[in-house]
Protein backbone atom coordinates (compact mmCIF):
# COMPACT_ATOMS: atom_id res chain seq x y z
CA UNK A 1 0.00 0.00 0.00
CA UNK A 2 1.25 3.44 -0.89
CA UNK A 3 0.06 6.96 -0.13
CA UNK A 4 -0.68 8.65 -3.44
CA UNK A 5 -1.29 12.28 -4.30
CA UNK A 6 -3.33 13.54 -7.24
CA UNK A 7 -6.08 15.91 -8.40
CA UNK A 8 -9.57 14.48 -8.42
CA UNK A 9 -13.16 15.30 -9.42
CA UNK A 10 -15.90 13.84 -7.20
CA UNK A 11 -18.33 11.89 -9.40
CA UNK A 12 -20.39 9.92 -6.86
CA UNK A 13 -20.90 9.94 -3.11
CA UNK A 14 -22.67 7.11 -1.29
CA UNK A 15 -23.32 7.04 2.46
CA UNK A 16 -21.63 4.04 3.98
CA UNK A 17 -22.32 4.32 7.70
CA UNK A 18 -23.49 6.94 10.16
CA UNK A 19 -20.17 8.70 9.87
CA UNK A 20 -18.50 7.60 6.61
CA UNK A 21 -19.01 7.77 2.84
CA UNK A 22 -17.67 5.94 -0.16
CA UNK A 23 -16.51 8.55 -2.66
CA UNK A 24 -15.94 7.73 -6.33
CA UNK A 25 -13.52 10.15 -7.93
CA UNK A 26 -12.10 10.59 -11.40
CA UNK A 27 -8.44 11.40 -10.79
CA UNK A 28 -5.85 12.84 -13.11
CA UNK A 29 -3.17 10.21 -12.51
CA UNK A 30 -5.02 7.05 -11.47
CA UNK A 31 -8.29 7.23 -13.41
CA UNK A 32 -11.41 6.33 -11.47
CA UNK A 33 -10.96 5.37 -7.81
CA UNK A 34 -13.43 4.43 -5.07
CA UNK A 35 -12.29 5.48 -1.62
CA UNK A 36 -13.66 5.34 1.90
CA UNK A 37 -13.86 8.78 3.51
CA UNK A 38 -13.96 7.99 7.21
CA UNK A 39 -15.75 10.51 9.38
CA UNK A 40 -16.90 12.48 6.33
CA UNK A 41 -20.49 12.70 7.60
CA UNK A 42 -19.53 14.03 11.01
CA UNK A 43 -19.93 17.76 11.66
CA UNK A 44 -16.64 19.58 11.19
CA UNK A 45 -15.26 16.67 9.16
CA UNK A 46 -11.76 17.16 7.79
CA UNK A 47 -13.14 16.70 4.27
CA UNK A 48 -15.91 19.35 4.46
CA UNK A 49 -16.99 20.37 0.94
CA UNK A 50 -14.06 18.58 -0.70
CA UNK A 51 -16.26 15.56 -1.32
CA UNK A 52 -19.29 17.41 -2.75
CA UNK A 53 -20.29 16.26 -6.24
CA UNK A 54 -18.09 17.76 -9.00
CA UNK A 55 -15.76 19.50 -6.56
CA UNK A 56 -12.13 19.31 -7.66
CA UNK A 57 -9.67 18.59 -4.86
CA UNK A 58 -6.02 17.78 -4.35
CA UNK A 59 -6.23 14.45 -2.54
CA UNK A 60 -4.03 12.05 -0.62
CA UNK A 61 -5.21 8.46 -0.53
CA UNK A 62 -4.01 5.08 0.50
CA UNK A 63 -4.00 2.99 -2.67
CA UNK A 64 -5.03 -0.53 -1.74
CA UNK A 65 -4.27 -3.50 -3.88
CA UNK A 66 -6.87 -6.03 -5.06
CA UNK A 67 -10.55 -5.24 -4.88
CA UNK A 68 -10.73 -3.38 -1.58
CA UNK A 69 -11.64 0.28 -1.35
CA UNK A 70 -8.91 2.91 -1.24
CA UNK A 71 -8.78 5.11 1.84
CA UNK A 72 -9.08 8.87 1.44
CA UNK A 73 -6.80 10.53 3.97
CA UNK A 74 -6.82 14.18 2.90
CA UNK A 75 -8.76 16.35 0.42
CA UNK A 76 -8.14 20.02 -0.16
CA UNK A 77 -10.68 21.93 -2.28
CA UNK A 78 -9.29 23.49 -5.45
CA UNK A 79 -12.54 24.36 -7.16
CA UNK A 80 -16.21 24.00 -6.32
CA UNK A 81 -18.92 23.44 -8.96
CA UNK A 82 -20.69 26.77 -8.71
CA UNK A 83 -23.08 26.52 -11.70
CA UNK A 84 -25.41 24.61 -9.37
CA UNK A 85 -26.19 27.85 -7.53
CA UNK A 86 -27.69 29.65 -10.49
CA UNK A 87 -28.98 27.45 -13.33
CA UNK A 88 -30.82 24.15 -13.35
CA UNK A 89 -29.76 23.20 -16.93
CA UNK A 90 -26.10 23.78 -16.03
CA UNK A 91 -26.55 21.76 -12.83
CA UNK A 92 -28.10 18.83 -14.74
CA UNK A 93 -25.34 19.09 -17.37
CA UNK A 94 -22.78 18.77 -14.56
CA UNK A 95 -24.55 15.73 -13.10
CA UNK A 96 -24.49 14.14 -16.55
CA UNK A 97 -20.71 14.71 -16.83
CA UNK A 98 -20.31 12.93 -13.46
CA UNK A 99 -22.55 10.07 -14.60
CA UNK A 100 -20.65 9.59 -17.87
CA UNK A 101 -17.25 9.65 -16.14
CA UNK A 102 -18.55 6.98 -13.76
CA UNK A 103 -20.07 4.80 -16.50
CA UNK A 104 -17.55 5.13 -19.32
CA UNK A 105 -14.36 4.53 -17.32
CA UNK A 106 -12.93 1.60 -15.36
CA UNK A 107 -11.30 1.71 -11.95
CA UNK A 108 -7.56 2.39 -12.13
CA UNK A 109 -7.47 3.22 -15.84
CA UNK A 110 -5.94 6.72 -16.15
CA UNK A 111 -6.90 9.07 -18.99
CA UNK A 112 -5.21 12.43 -18.47
CA UNK A 113 -6.80 13.82 -21.63
CA UNK A 114 -10.27 12.89 -20.39
CA UNK A 115 -9.53 14.38 -16.96
CA UNK A 116 -8.47 17.68 -18.53
CA UNK A 117 -11.55 17.66 -20.78
CA UNK A 118 -13.83 17.04 -17.79
CA UNK A 119 -12.16 19.83 -15.86
CA UNK A 120 -12.56 22.20 -18.81
CA UNK A 121 -16.21 21.16 -19.20
CA UNK A 122 -16.99 21.91 -15.55
CA UNK A 123 -15.31 25.34 -15.89
CA UNK A 124 -17.37 26.11 -18.99
CA UNK A 125 -20.59 25.16 -17.17
CA UNK A 126 -19.52 27.40 -14.27
CA UNK A 127 -18.93 30.10 -16.87
CA UNK A 128 -22.58 29.69 -18.00
CA UNK A 129 -21.65 28.76 -21.58
CA UNK A 130 -24.33 27.12 -23.74
CA UNK A 131 -24.80 23.80 -21.88
CA UNK A 132 -26.02 21.87 -24.94
CA UNK A 133 -22.85 22.67 -26.92
CA UNK A 134 -20.58 22.17 -23.91
CA UNK A 135 -22.08 18.74 -23.20
CA UNK A 136 -22.05 17.56 -26.83
CA UNK A 137 -18.39 18.54 -27.07
CA UNK A 138 -17.66 16.67 -23.84
CA UNK A 139 -19.45 13.52 -25.01
CA UNK A 140 -17.83 13.42 -28.45
CA UNK A 141 -14.30 14.10 -27.21
CA UNK A 142 -14.69 11.70 -24.28
CA UNK A 143 -15.62 9.03 -26.84
CA UNK A 144 -12.64 10.09 -28.96
CA UNK A 145 -10.22 9.64 -26.04
CA UNK A 146 -11.75 6.25 -25.24
CA UNK A 147 -11.54 5.08 -28.87
CA UNK A 148 -15.32 5.13 -29.35
CA UNK A 149 -15.81 8.21 -31.52
CA UNK A 150 -18.44 7.60 -34.22
CA UNK A 151 -17.24 7.76 -37.83
CA UNK A 152 -18.21 11.16 -39.23
CA UNK A 153 -16.40 11.40 -42.59
CA UNK A 154 -16.72 8.01 -44.20
CA UNK A 155 -19.37 5.32 -44.25
CA UNK A 156 -19.05 3.32 -41.03
CA UNK A 157 -19.83 0.12 -42.93
CA UNK A 158 -17.97 0.21 -46.29
CA UNK A 159 -15.54 3.12 -45.75
CA UNK A 160 -16.65 5.16 -48.78
CA UNK A 161 -16.70 8.93 -48.42
CA UNK A 162 -20.19 10.20 -47.57
CA UNK A 163 -21.02 13.43 -49.35
CA UNK A 164 -23.40 16.16 -48.29
CA UNK A 165 -27.06 15.28 -48.42
CA UNK A 166 -30.20 16.72 -46.87
CA UNK A 167 -30.43 13.83 -44.41
CA UNK A 168 -27.68 11.43 -43.44
CA UNK A 169 -28.25 7.95 -41.98
CA UNK A 170 -26.38 7.22 -38.75
CA UNK A 171 -25.96 3.58 -37.70
CA UNK A 172 -25.89 2.89 -33.97
CA UNK A 173 -24.43 -0.59 -34.48
CA UNK A 174 -21.85 0.34 -37.13
CA UNK A 175 -20.96 3.44 -35.06
CA UNK A 176 -21.30 6.33 -37.47
CA UNK A 177 -22.71 7.70 -40.68
CA UNK A 178 -23.69 5.41 -43.54
CA UNK A 179 -23.72 5.75 -47.31
CA UNK A 180 -27.10 5.27 -49.02
CA UNK A 181 -26.00 1.84 -50.27
CA UNK A 182 -25.14 0.53 -46.80
CA UNK A 183 -28.20 2.01 -45.16
CA UNK A 184 -30.39 -0.72 -46.63
CA UNK A 185 -30.50 -3.78 -44.44
CA UNK A 186 -28.98 -2.06 -41.41
CA UNK A 187 -30.83 -2.15 -38.09
CA UNK A 188 -30.91 0.69 -35.57
CA UNK A 189 -30.38 3.51 -38.03
CA UNK A 190 -31.48 7.07 -37.31
CA UNK A 191 -31.45 9.89 -39.80
CA UNK A 192 -30.07 13.37 -39.05
CA UNK A 193 -29.74 16.56 -41.06
CA UNK A 194 -26.38 17.50 -42.59
CA UNK A 195 -25.73 20.45 -40.18
CA UNK A 196 -25.71 17.94 -37.27
CA UNK A 197 -22.80 16.05 -38.87
CA UNK A 198 -21.00 19.35 -39.56
CA UNK A 199 -21.54 20.41 -35.91
CA UNK A 200 -20.17 17.09 -34.62
CA UNK A 201 -17.09 17.42 -36.83
CA UNK A 202 -16.51 20.95 -35.52
CA UNK A 203 -16.82 19.79 -31.91
CA UNK A 204 -14.15 17.12 -32.32
CA UNK A 205 -11.88 19.20 -34.56
CA UNK A 206 -8.27 19.28 -33.43
CA UNK A 207 -8.19 23.05 -33.18
CA UNK A 208 -10.93 23.11 -30.56
CA UNK A 209 -8.45 23.31 -27.71
CA UNK A 210 -9.37 23.35 -24.06
CA UNK A 211 -9.18 27.11 -23.91
CA UNK A 212 -10.66 27.80 -27.35
CA UNK A 213 -14.08 29.23 -28.06
CA UNK A 214 -16.67 26.61 -28.92
CA UNK A 215 -18.26 26.60 -32.39
CA UNK A 216 -21.62 28.37 -32.69
CA UNK A 217 -24.28 25.69 -32.99
CA UNK A 218 -27.93 26.67 -33.41
CA UNK A 219 -30.61 25.60 -30.96
CA UNK A 220 -32.27 23.49 -33.69
CA UNK A 221 -29.05 21.62 -34.49
CA UNK A 222 -28.25 21.22 -30.79
CA UNK A 223 -31.72 19.73 -30.26
CA UNK A 224 -31.24 17.18 -33.03
CA UNK A 225 -27.70 16.42 -31.89
CA UNK A 226 -29.00 15.86 -28.34
CA UNK A 227 -31.47 13.27 -29.62
CA UNK A 228 -28.74 11.47 -31.57
CA UNK A 229 -26.32 11.45 -28.62
CA UNK A 230 -29.05 10.22 -26.22
CA UNK A 231 -29.54 7.20 -28.46
CA UNK A 232 -25.88 6.59 -29.20
CA UNK A 233 -24.75 6.88 -25.58
CA UNK A 234 -27.56 4.53 -24.47
CA UNK A 235 -26.47 2.07 -27.16
CA UNK A 236 -22.80 2.20 -26.10
CA UNK A 237 -23.52 1.86 -22.38
CA UNK A 238 -26.20 -0.80 -22.85
CA UNK A 239 -28.57 1.28 -20.70
CA UNK A 240 -30.13 4.71 -20.77
CA UNK A 241 -28.11 7.17 -18.65
CA UNK A 242 -30.20 8.31 -15.69
CA UNK A 243 -29.75 12.02 -16.46
CA UNK A 244 -31.04 11.81 -20.06
CA UNK A 245 -34.66 12.73 -19.19
CA UNK A 246 -33.36 16.00 -17.75
CA UNK A 247 -31.17 16.96 -20.70
CA UNK A 248 -34.06 18.24 -22.84
CA UNK A 249 -33.81 21.37 -20.72
CA UNK A 250 -30.33 22.05 -22.16
CA UNK A 251 -31.61 22.73 -25.64
CA UNK A 252 -34.39 25.17 -24.81
CA UNK A 253 -33.68 28.57 -26.42
CA UNK A 254 -33.88 30.39 -23.06
CA UNK A 255 -30.75 28.70 -21.67
CA UNK A 256 -28.59 29.21 -24.77
CA UNK A 257 -26.26 32.13 -24.73
ZN1 LIG B 1 -21.26 2.29 -47.16
- Answer whether residue 257 shows pLDDT above 50: no
- Residue 210 pLDDT class (50, 70, 90 cuts): low
Does residue 17 belong to any structural domain of this protein? yes
CA distance 78 to 96: 21
Does residue 91 belong to any structural domain of this protein? yes
Does residue 187 belong to any structural domain of this protein? yes
Does residue 118 belong to any structural domain of this protein? yes
**CATH code of the domain in which 20 resides:** 2.40.50.140
> Residue 182 is part of which domain span?
83-151+164-255
**pTM score over 0.85:** yes
Domain boundary among 35, 58, 79: 79
As to burial, measured by CB atoms within 10 angstroms (0-12 exposed, 13-18 middle, 19+ buried), residue 176 is: buried
At 256 the pLDDT is 47
- Answer whether residue 67 shows pLDDT above 60: yes
Considering the domain architecture, whether residues 208 and 144 belong to the same structural domain is answered as yes
Does residue 60 belong to any structural domain of this protein? yes
Considering the domain architecture, whether residues 45 and 114 belong to the same structural domain is answered as no
- Answer whether residue 255 shows pLDDT above 60: no
CA distance 250 to 132: 5
Quote the ligand 1 centre to 134 CA distance (angstroms): 31
Considering the domain architecture, whether residues 217 and 125 belong to the same structural domain is answered as yes
Mean of the per-residue pLDDT values of the chain = 92
Quote the ligand 1 centre to 180 CA distance (angstroms): 7
Longest CA pairwise span in the chain (Å)? 65
At 49 the pLDDT is 85
CA distance 74 to 55: 14
- Answer whether residue 68 shows pLDDT above 90: no
Considering the domain architecture, whether residues 13 and 30 belong to the same structural domain is answered as yes
Specify whether the CB–CB gap between 175 and 140 falls below 8 A: no
3-state SS, 109-145, equals: CCCHHHHHHHHHHHHHHHCCCCHHHHHHHHHHHHHHH
Considering the domain architecture, whether residues 31 and 14 belong to the same structural domain is answered as yes
**CATH code of the domain in which 124 resides:** 1.20.1440.120
- Answer whether residue 26 shows pLDDT above 90: yes
Number of structural domains found in the chain: 2
- Residue 197 pLDDT class (50, 70, 90 cuts): very high
Quote the ligand 1 centre to 150 CA distance (angstroms): 14
Q: What is the CA radius of gyration of the chain?
A: 20
Percent of the chain with pLDDT over 90: 81
Domain boundary among 37, 54, 79: 79
At 246 the pLDDT is 96
> Among 14-23, 38-47, 172-181, which stretch is predicted with the lowest mean pLDDT?
38-47
Quote the ligand 1 centre to 181 CA distance (angstroms): 6
Amino acid sequence: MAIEKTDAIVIRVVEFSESSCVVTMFTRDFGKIAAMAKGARRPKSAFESAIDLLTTSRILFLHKSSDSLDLLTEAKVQRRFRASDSSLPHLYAGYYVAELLASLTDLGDPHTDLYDLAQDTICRLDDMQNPATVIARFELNALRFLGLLPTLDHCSSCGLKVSENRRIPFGQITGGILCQGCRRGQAQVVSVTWPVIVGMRQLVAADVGLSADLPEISTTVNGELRGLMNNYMSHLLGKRPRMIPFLGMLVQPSVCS
